[in-house]
Chain A
Amino acid sequence: MNWKYLILLTVVLFSCKKIDKLTNFYADFSQEITFFTGDEPGSTIDIWIFNILQDKDSLFKENHSDIYGTNKIALSEITLSSIDTMDISFNYIESVEVYMTANEMQEKKIAWLDKIPEDITKIVSLDFTDDDLKDYMKDKDYALNIRLISKGTDNIETTFDFSYTVYINSNFDD
């Protein structure tokens, strides 16, 4: 066996891993939302989140990258966490859909859960799309719309934390 080739191959493989670590990163976002659940089962609770990536440039700079040189941005996790001091849990929600919007782009359904399991109390993980979201997130005005279908019969105030993590596959910033 030619050891020179083996060493060269090992160096190349490790370099690829190193470059991969430098050009791929995760970014976490979260937003606390307080609202009244409403007492009409079947009604929609319509929540919009604006101004999400105001420090977009610094996020990418910290990761030696640039949003315009990004290959792909995709969701890797999306959750709702009950942070009520009262033990309200998620009994008032029938289903959840999350949409992403941006200027001159059609709204895109990015996450959902058709039925919140009865035994869930504190954290709900949503199903989500694997689609590339970079065209939306490049837009300075991109926004999220959370649509909850209520099944609550008591109008109570509640708070949850909406969190999501995106995986960013990027090129080196020059």
Chain B
Amino acid sequence: MKLNRKHIGLLGTIYTLVFLLVFSLGCKKNSNDNVTTFTIKVDSINHPDTIFFDSTMIIQFHGHIGPTDCYSFYKFEPSYVPDSLIITVLGKHEDKQGCAPGNINLEAKTLLISNLPKGTTKVVINQPVSSALIDSVYVR
């Protein structure tokens, strides 16, 4: 088939559209790009001093997350190594226009831990800069 000027023009338009589509998709901003996570400074925790073996330990967290409603709690990251429960409390900040001012706090956010071994377990709360907040629980 011989290509005439009309065909070439049509092909050119198609190529341009495909290029623009690929380009726009490639440059599509990831909605997560504006979200950053950070370690929340925990002021205090509440939990029982002693629990029974096989019971669930309930830990409540208190602390300031951020000064606007663009800050929020993200998740707990607990891990267990022999005799120590290590917990990082993560917050997230969404970088956007129109963040309403206001103190956003942990408000006794609760974490449940099950199957701690008998004896004393150290509870270590990681902090953003200062040394960790350390407490303990006795499992009998």
Contact = CB atoms under 8 A, between A and B. Distances in A.
Q: Which 3 A-B pairs have the closest CB atoms?
A: A50-B80, A47-B112, A49-B114
Contact of A48 (B55, B81, B111, B117): B111
26 contacts: A31-B115, A32-B54, A33-B56, A34-B56, A35-B56, A36-B58, A36-B110, A38-B110, A45-B110, A46-B75, A46-B76, A46-B110, A46-B112, A47-B113, A48-B78, A48-B111, A48-B114, A50-B80, A50-B114, A50-B116, A51-B80, A51-B115, A51-B116, A51-B117, A141-B79, A143-B79
A31 B114 contact: yes
Interface residues of B, number: 19
A143 B80 contact: yes
Interface string B76-91: 1011110001000000
B120 to A, nearest CB: 15
Given A141-B79, A141-B80, A143-B79, A47 B115 contact: no
Interface string A129-157: 00000000000010100000000000000
A31 B54 CA distance: 8
Interface of A: 31-36, 38, 45-52, 54, 141, 143
A48 B113 contact: yes
